[in-house]
Every structure is written in structure tokens, then in C-alpha cells.
Structure 1
Amino acid sequence: MSSDTKNPEKIASSSDVENGEYIVPVRDPVPTTAWGRFVDSFKQVELEEITHNGDFNDLEKAIAATAKSPLHANLKNRHLQMIAIGGAIGTGLFIGSGGALATGGPAALLIGWGLIGCMVYGTVQSIGELAVRFPINGGFNVYSTRFIDESWGFAMGWNYALQWLVVMPFELLAASITIGYWNKTINSSVWVAVFYVIVLFINLFGVRGYGEAEFIFSAIKVTAVVGFIILGIVLTCGGGPHGGYIGGKYWHNPGAFANGFKGVCNIFVTAAFSFAGTELVGLAAAETQNPRKSLPKAAKQVFWRITLFYIISLTLVGLLVPYTNDRLGTARDASASPFVIAIENAGISGLPSVINVVIIIAVLSVGNSSVYGCSRTLTSLAVQGFAPRQFAYIDRAGRPLVSVCFSLAFGLLCFLAASSKQGTIFNWLLALSGLSTVFTWGSICFCHIRFRYAMKVQGRNPEEELTFLAQGGLYSSWFGLVLNILVLIAQFYTALFPIGAEPNANDFFQAYLSFPIILVMYLGHKIWTRNWKIYIRGKDIDLDSGRAEADLDLLKQEIAEEKAALATKPWYYKVYNFWC
């Protein structure tokens, strides 16, 4: 450590962060009382010193600043596994699938969720490989900066931050509306305040609070979906109170498709919304205790979530509820949920209220995740020089305090629930993030492609250096990238020619506003920084900064030993290891 660090007057300033030099101040004595330690935890963390020769360009400064994160690695394996299995299960599945069923029909429902599910699986495999290799502050928006281009990293980072920023107030409003399933007499602002305080309280405990809350929320959601699958099979076979075999009769009358090809295209974005948040396992890499062991398992768990919790449950929904049911897609509470409609049609009382409770928990889970996703992304943007420096503030408890407070402050928009114009306001807020997830996933896939290309150009062997290889390799990333582009084209088609309406500017921009915003951010950064290159050349891509393992030769030896040990195992163990 340099002599400057011994000077108690030399503290870590924003200019130090900007120049890529972190100076460690002399820490104050640790308070002895619980209240004192609580207050002390909000002070800025002591930053590790990073030195350079003064010749770093902006890209090298951004990579160096994000390579070592002061965020606390408090997420355990069980947290990450449950986040991977049930973290993204929310209103998109429980309520949004109802509108999708009404728009496309049961066959379109499976086609849309199946294709998007395949794309998501490939995307999570890609982010898993990158995050195990580089468990850095900011995750995939930093990968866009270092593997594609700084301007694209700027656009993708702000795209992802805005996505989660506007989701929180919307989800809290949705939670208050869901209460209306039981009682519509109490002002919705009361429930908004209750749910806001819950989310705020969880985030006071930093990443550990997020992990524990998501562990509980996800366990409840998974239990509910598994319970519905069992019940749905019984009802389809005629075991409900009303009796009578149902089978596939609703696929014949009213039919498998509601609006033909356009109906299928219209479902893609709804399906993508229901999977939003799956990529958070990659963002959490910097705060995971052992990303090399935890992340590969979490990436593999996504396959089971897609297959068991989405495809099977939606197959049963399509068998139990005709797409002509007039309640589908008419509200944001449990009354419009196809899960609730299926149970009520079977003549079962009580269970719809249970599903409504699960929907409230799912909404709170998404609201909690929105604060986590937005705050970590804003902090990463600030460290890279893409956002105000104040957002780089991380306290001694490992909380990105300023970013969390900003996200929570924006979340106060949820109190627009009392406004008569709240519907219009929230529709336009959601338009800001409508296609954000699709752009994020496509960018992740392209980052993986560029990473592998850089390894090839620089003569590096992935099988010798990477502890986790994406299942499907580059094929799954190319598939994900191409399918993301096709989804954008399909959404443009349905935005320009909406189902049941004439082409109009209002519907188009509510469905496609994200695209011009991303384009403006990308070109704006190009003009502001005069960065006219389209991409970073493969030979110039940094493959080492922020790497999880410092000793490459030792890593190669460990990988070879692990492969040799796996080769001695029986075939069923190898199959289990591949999928789980």
C-alpha cells in the first residue's frame, strides 16, 4: 500500500474514482453500541487502492473500476438457487398469461412461451459463463462496455436501469389493486404505503435482506405453481367437484388459435415480460459467496423452471380455460388470472383467495427485485463514468446507498394510485421499459459471442480456462440473438398494426418506445464522447481484468483434475451433473 494511504486526511473522493485511483482512508474506530454500529454502517466504504501509469483510456478506466467490487458477497448458494428457480415468477405468469391466452389462444400461448423460454435458457447459460469468469460490479452492462462498445454499454446500462426504475411503482400499484379482490372500499393508497414500507425495510438489510426475502417469496411461488399443476392434472382428467373429463376440448372449441399469426406475434412480448428478471443471477455474481460453484447450478436450474413452472402450468391453463372467457385480460387482479378462473370453473371455493395471496407475494418479489436491479446497475454506471458520481457511493454494509435511495424515491410515484389519470401515467411509464428485456437478452448473447471470438483471436482455449462452459456453446447464443431480433420485428409488426384497431401513434409508441430511447442514448453517447468506432476489435478486448481466478496455470490444472474426476463417475451422475 502506498504511503498516501497512511495520511488520515487523504480520503477517497469522486475524482479519485474517476481517475481510476482509490485511496484507502484511515477508518474510524468501530462503535461499541448497536446503534452506533448501525449509524456507522451508512458511512462510505473504504475503497481498495487501484493504481495505474496515467495512460489509461476511458474504456480501461471503466474496466479497472468495475474489476474489484466493494459490494459484500453475502448471497449464499441457497439464495441464488431459489432466485434462479422462482425469482421471475410473477404477474406475467399469473395474470399476464390470461391476456395472452385471450389474444392468441392455447397453442399460441405454448409457442410464445416455449420459444422465449428456449431463448432465455440460452441467454442465462451465456450470462452464467461470463459471470463465473468475471463476477464484477454491474454484470452484463459492463460486459457490453468491454466486449462490444462503450456507447452500447452506456445505452444498455441505462436501458436496464430504467426498466427496473419504472417497474417498482407499477408493481406496488398492482399489489394494491390485487387487494381489491377482497375489499374495494379501502383507498388503494393505504395498501401502496404498506407495501412500500415493506420493500424499504427489506432493502435496509442490503443484499442479505434481498436474498432472504427472495428465498421466502420464491419458495411460496414455487409451492403454489406445483400445487396448481397437480390440481390442474386432476381437473383435466375429470376429478373436480363438477366431474366430467375435459381433456383437449377447448383446443377444438373455440380452437387452438385466436388471431392466427398476429396473435402469436403479440404474445412474444408478454412472454418476455413474464421471464424478466431471470438474468438477475448474473447481476448478483459480484455479491455471491462462491460464484464458481453457485452460478453454474443456478444457470442450469432455469431449464427446470421453464419446463415445469411455465410450460406445464400454461399447458394446463390452456386445457382448463377457453380463450373466449370474458374475464381474461380485463383486470390486473386475481379475477383476471387464468389460474383463478380455472379453479372457479371447477367449482372449488377458497383456493382463488390463496392464488390472490400468491399474486401479492409475487408482486412484492418483483418490487424488491426492481430496487436491487436498478440500484446495482446505477452504481455500475457511475463507476464506469456513465452516471453521476454520487451513485458510486457504497456504504460499509455493502449497500449502494445513493442508488437504493434514488430507486426508492422514484418508487414514490406509486402514490399516483390516487390520481384519476394513474392508468395513463403508468401505461407510458411501462412503455419506457416495454422492450428493455429483449434488448438486454440480445446484448448478453452478443457479449458471449464477442467474448468467445476474442478468446479465439488471442489464442486462448475456453475448455482450458473456463470453469463453466455454456451448454450449447455459441449455438445457443446465436439462437438467442437471432430470436431476440425476430421478436423485435414481430413486436414492430403488432405495434404498427395492433389487433382489433387501426394503426395509430399512441398504440405504436406505447409498444415500441424503448427502441427510439435506446437509439438516442447510443447515438448521444457517440456524439458526446466522439467515439466513432462500431465495436472493439477482438485482439483489443480485455480478457483478464476482473477475472475470478488470479493464477491461470493453477486454474487450468484444477479444471483438468475436475474433468478427470468426472470421467470416473457413472453415466447417471454425469447426466445429473449436466442438468443440475
Structure 2
Amino acid sequence: MSTAKDLEANLKTSQSSSLVSGENYITASSSSPLTQDGHKQSHFQAFKDSFKKLEPVIDESELPPDATEAERNAFILQNTPLQKSLKTRHLRMIAIGGSIGTGLFVGSGSALATGGAASLPIAWTIVGTIVFCVIHALGELQCMYPQAGAFSAHATRFIEPSWGFAMGWNYVGLWIVVLPLEIIAASMTVTYWNDNINPVAWVTIFYIAIVSINLFGVKGYGEAEYLFSLIKLLAIVGFLILGIVLVCGGGPEGGFVGGRNYRDPGPFTNGFKGMCTVFVTATYSLGGTELIGLAAAEAENPRKTLPSALKQVLYRIVLFYIGSLTLISLLVNAQDDRLLGSSSADATASPFVIAINNAGIKGLPSVMNCVILVSVMSVGNSAVYGGSRTIAALAAQGLAPKCFNYIDRMGRPIFGILLNSAFGALAYLVASEDQNTVFAWLMAITGLSVIFTWMSILICHLRFRMAMKAQGHSLDELPFTSQAGVLGSLYGIVWLVIFLGVQFWVALFPLGSSSANAKNFFQNYLGAIIILAMYIARKLWSRKLNEFIPLAEIPLDVGRANVDIDLLAQEMAEEKAILRTKPFWFRVYKFLC
């Protein structure tokens, strides 16, 4: 009988010879440091050559002659020459802290004011359970098909190309708008310390910094997010400890807090309608979690690294979001004028800063503002990454101009980065008096983007499972199985449909108004109309009104990360056998993390 050491040795040997590690993908490499005549290449020349196109080696003879459009798209995405250099620590930090930004630190303040104290833990708990289902559904798909474009590519494969087109451009549009907003937010955060400097100067600094990070390729993005997320996590852990002390009356000022803000003004400030408005804010604040799906396509070994990172998303939601916002609901009064007295980009409106100020603690508000600044930079960095990778995948499928499929020798979708950077220049509207009006309508275009993206992921997961069953495949073939399962995807879809319904209601009849408000409706619901328009326009342009893919025709074998199913099963069995030899505490740890 094999010992644990023998099994570990066999497992390492089989992994080195299998395709599980992603050897069937073309990996980008930098330009050679030597010229053709053998002389050492200058750093400038090497930098210039790194922008040359890296041609993927695609042998279409591997495709059957009668390959469908979905199979062809899946095969092309399988061979997209992105660098696979993200390590386990990068994915874990992206999963834990990647989406923590202004939605939590600043946006939660307006949610507290409109919904009341109890609305924060209730809304973020419900949305958190949805995120858990979404992330695990996406993880199951990405471990099976770790392709560029992630959810937009899955929509093309499991639903139809027109829906993939609408979802992809919807997601690109979201990040195009978010980037200048985050740059403006960063410039406004700095005014907390000095408001005498023209914010245009700060916009320039942050704009250059964010674009420069992404020019270092996926490794630059990964290292930056690792550092940004680490800072955010340390800050939130510190606030959790401080918040418990302040609630118990341990601060210099304020005395015992307890649940007084739940008694006065009460748990809900605007009734059921106020509670409904908070769901949208909670969804926006947790948006970006799905970026880990895009990052998985550039990970060294998604089957190994992605499941571990996904399991930690739940702890992030419970501890960092629900924990910190529960403390905020206790420490900050929902009727505090400072929550609504500043613009959404102004860090002085952050309930975290207000809670610390109320306790009379000197110095810490500046520290929290530094954290908010880091969070803004992190979201801006993710905006360029997410937008550029999504549009590159769309171009690879013929759903965007071909130029966006240009991947250089460092694995950068350079034209996608340039597109995002060009729209990032909208941040200079900070000098205009009409900036709020412009961005209100820009956000209206993609205001429901996160809800539709999550819903599309869950529908793809359901269609994937149904296709597996219809084509006689077993769940044992899956490298990673969603802990939420099919029921989790159904649960998430039901809640997201409810969110769309209540958002329609509060958009048409906003708080404090008994009559319909057309302007408010379009500013909050225009995104749904835009998505529908893109979907219909793509169908009319392609002249293919019926593109819906039957379950029996969904390509389940093209683009798989694990071509040899028997070898995968052997490796997974050996991993389980090794795990059984470990102590109980280690097995519990591996199950949870």
C-alpha cells in the first residue's frame, strides 16, 4: 500500500506531465535580450520590442470540420496569449480585498442615511450570500474553462453570442466609467489634508500612476493589488477591534454607545422603500468580486489556486463587510448631517471617518483617509485591468474591433488598456461645474451592470450543469465543484430579479416622492435599456435571430483545462488520499481555506 510520501511524489510527477497546469495555453514571453547578431539589446530597445504583437499558435485542424461558432470561439479563447504569472498569493488577495473600495468606505454612508442602521447588516448579508453563490458558480466554470473574458465568454458559450456581446460591452462600459470616477475620488480625498491645491494636479498624478501600473502587465496588476489589499485588510481588522472598543465606551469621548442609534432614530429611517435603496448600494460595493474570474485566466495553475482563493470570499464578506458595517450602524447616527453633507467622492462623508471623529481620537481619521485613498487607487487599477481583458476577449470572438485582440510580448492587451486610459481622461472634468451631471448620466448607462453580470454568471452555471447532464457527463469530471451548487445559482437569480424589481420601483418613485419622476428613472434604470438595446442590435446586425444554443450542442470539451479526464481523476484521488493522512485540524483548514 502506498504511503503518503509515495503518493505526494507520484502526484508531483503526474502534474509535471499533465495538461492540468495549463501547458496547452500559449504563454507570452518578453523579447530576447540579445539582437540577431548576438549583441546585448539596450533596455530601451527591449522595452520598445515588448509592444510587438505576440502571435498565438493556433492549429485549427484540431477543430472538427463542422465546428459551431461557439466551439470556434471557445478554441480561440483557449489560445489567447495572455501571461500566466499570477500566483496563489495574488489570487487570494484579489479575492479577499480586491473589491473593497469607496462602495464600502464612503457609499455605505449614504446607505445608512437613506435606509437606517438595521439596513446595513441586512442588505449586505443578503447580497453577500448572492456573491457567495456567484463566485462559486464562476469558479466552477473557470476551473473547467480558464479562458480570457471569463463571464462574457461563458455567456457566448452557454447561452448565445448576442447575450455574450451585450454582457461583455456592458462590463467594459462599467469599468470605463468607474476609472475616471475613482481618479476624481482620489483627488478629492487628498483635499482632506490640503484643499488649496488645484484637484487637476492630483488627477494627473493618480491618472499616470494607475495607467503605469497596468503597463507592467498582469504581474504589475497582481503585485499592486496584493499590496493594496493587504493595506485595506489591515485597516479593516484594526477598525473592527477599535469599533468594538468604542461601542463598549472605551473611546476618549462619547461614552457607552451600545444600541442607542437603533432606538433613536430607529432601525429604519425611510421604511421599506429606504431599505430597498440600500440593496443597490450593497450590490455596487461588492461589485468587482467577479474580477477573480478574469484573473484566473492569467494564473499559473487555476485548478490549484482558484478554489483556495474562492473559499476565502465568504470570510471577507462576513468579517470585513458585515462586521465593519454592523459596527458602523452602532457608532454613527443615520441622521448625521455629515453623511449627506458632502459629495460621494469626498472622504469626509465616510462613516468610518465620522465614527473615529465622534470618539475624539486624533490622528486616526487621517490614517483612515489614507486607506480610502489606497482603496480608490485599487479600484482604478482594477478598472483598467477588467476593462482591457474583457474587450480583448470580445475581439477574439469577433464581438469587438479586431485591433483590441492585439496582445503584445508582455501579454498586455495594449489597445484595451489605451481605450480605458483614454476614457480615464474624463477625470479632468473635475475642473468643470457640470461634472456631476456628466457622470450621473455616464453611471446611468452602466448602473445595473453588476446585477446583470452576476445574473448572467448564474444562468451560465445552470446551463452548464444542464448540458453536463444532457450530454452524459459526470460531476466527477469537474476540477472544482461549487459549494452552493445548482440551488445556490437559483437562489441568486431569484434575489437578483427581486433587486431589479425594487430598483424599478424606487427609480420611478424615488424617496420622498409620491409621483413618477422620469429623470430619476432614467438615471437609475437606463442601464437595463442599454443592455436590451445592445442585445437586439447584435441580433439584427448578425441577422441571426435564433442563436440560442441547445443543451446537446453546448461545447463542453473544447477549451477544457483538463483534457485527460482519467489523469485528472487520478490526481484528485491522490490529493484526497494524501489529505486523509493529515491531522484533523489540517483537513478542516483545507476544507475552509
TM-score (norm 1): 0.93
Deviation at 1:198, TM superposition (A): 0.4
For 1:129 and 1:564, the matched residues in 2 are separated by: 22
2:71 touches 2:558 (CA, 8 Å); kept in 1? Answer: no
SS in 2 for 1:513: helix
For 2:66 and 2:484, the matched residues in 1 are separated by: 40
Residue 278 of structure 2 corresponds to which residue in structure 1?
267
1:111 aligns with 2:122: yes
- Counting only pairs closer than 5 Å after superposition, residues 442-453 of structure 1 correspond to structure 2 as 442-453=455-466
Residue 492 of structure 1 corresponds to which residue in structure 2?
504
Q: CA RMSD in A?
A: 1.7
C-alpha distance after superposition, 1:531-574 (max 9, x if no partner): 22263111111111111112112112222333344445554433
Residue 438 of structure 2 corresponds to which residue in structure 1?
425
For 1:480 and 1:534, the matched residues in 2 are separated by: 25
2:203 touches 2:428 (CA, 8 Å); kept in 1? Answer: yes
1:95 touches 1:329 (CA, 8 Å); kept in 2? Answer: no
Q: Which amino acid aligns with 2:468?
A: M
2:254 touches 2:358 (CA, 8 Å); kept in 1? Answer: no
Residue 11 of structure 1 corresponds to which residue in structure 2?
none
For 2:391 and 2:518, the matched residues in 1 are separated by: 31
* Equivalent of 1:336 in 343, 349, 374: 349
1:139 aligns with 2:150: yes
Residue 393 of structure 1 corresponds to which residue in structure 2?
406
Deviation at 1:118, TM superposition (A): 0.5
* Equivalent of 2:320 in 282, 299, 309: 309
For 2:325 and 2:135, the matched residues in 1 are separated by: 21
- Counting only pairs closer than 5 Å after superposition, residues 26-425 of structure 1 correspond to structure 2 as 30-31=34-35, 32-52=41-61, 55-242=66-253, 244-331=255-342, 332-425=345-438
Residue 562 of structure 1 corresponds to which residue in structure 2?
575
1:66 touches 1:136 (CA, 8 Å); kept in 2? Answer: yes
Residue 529 of structure 2 corresponds to which residue in structure 1?
516
State the number of aligned residues: 555
Q: Which amino acid aligns with 2:493?
A: L
For 1:237 and 1:425, the matched residues in 2 are separated by: 44
Deviation at 1:575, TM superposition (A): 2.8
Deviation at 1:47, TM superposition (A): 1.5
For 1:454 and 1:54, the matched residues in 2 are separated by: 22
Deviation at 1:235, TM superposition (A): 0.4
For 1:243 and 1:377, the matched residues in 2 are separated by: 49
Deviation at 1:108, TM superposition (A): 1.1
2:33 touches 2:46 (CA, 8 Å); kept in 1? Answer: no
2:146 touches 2:302 (CA, 8 Å); kept in 1? Answer: yes
For 2:474 and 2:71, the matched residues in 1 are separated by: 24
For 1:431 and 1:418, the matched residues in 2 are separated by: 21
SS in 1 for 2:530: helix
Q: Which amino acid aligns with 1:394?
A: I
Q: Which amino acid aligns with 2:171?
A: Y
C-alpha distance after superposition, 1:116-148 (max 9, x if no partner): 010001100111111111111111110000011
SS in 1 for 2:297: helix
1:207 touches 1:287 (CA, 8 Å); kept in 2? Answer: yes
For 2:32 and 2:575, the matched residues in 1 are separated by: 45
Q: Which amino acid aligns with 1:43?
A: K
Q: Which amino acid aligns with 1:410?
A: F
1:476 aligns with 2:485: no
1:334 touches 1:355 (CA, 8 Å); kept in 2? Answer: no
Worse-matched range after superposition: 71-80 or 493-502: 493-502
2:53 touches 2:408 (CA, 8 Å); kept in 1? Answer: yes
C-alpha distance after superposition, 1:248-294 (max 9, x if no partner): 11111111011111111101110011111100111111110111111
Deviation at 1:57, TM superposition (A): 4.0
For 1:207 and 1:150, the matched residues in 2 are separated by: 27
Worse-matched range after superposition: 563-572 or 174-183: 563-572
For 1:246 and 1:281, the matched residues in 2 are separated by: 38
Residue 544 of structure 1 corresponds to which residue in structure 2?
557
TM-score (norm 2): 0.91
For 2:569 and 2:439, the matched residues in 1 are separated by: 51
Gaps of 5+ in 2: 1-25, 36-40
Worse-matched range after superposition: 321-330 or 52-61: 52-61
Deviation at 1:55, TM superposition (A): 4.4
SS in 1 for 2:483: coil
For 2:527 and 2:246, the matched residues in 1 are separated by: 41
1:178 touches 1:333 (CA, 8 Å); kept in 2? Answer: yes
Deviation at 1:525, TM superposition (A): 1.2
For 1:407 and 1:243, the matched residues in 2 are separated by: 46
For 1:330 and 1:514, the matched residues in 2 are separated by: 27
SS in 2 for 1:358: helix
Identity %: 54
Worse-matched range after superposition: 49-58 or 165-174: 49-58
For 1:139 and 1:74, the matched residues in 2 are separated by: 17
Worse-matched range after superposition: 500-509 or 542-551: 500-509
C-alpha distance after superposition, 1:450-489 (max 9, x if no partner): 1111101111111x21121111211111111111111111
1:96 touches 1:329 (CA, 8 Å); kept in 2? Answer: no
Q: Which amino acid aligns with 2:60?
A: T
2:211 touches 2:421 (CA, 8 Å); kept in 1? Answer: yes
SS in 2 for 1:287: coil
2:188 touches 2:347 (CA, 8 Å); kept in 1? Answer: no
* Equivalent of 2:468 in 455, 466, 471: 455
Q: Which amino acid aligns with 2:504?
A: F
C-alpha distance after superposition, 1:166-217 (max 9, x if no partner): 1101110111111121222211111000000101110110100100110111
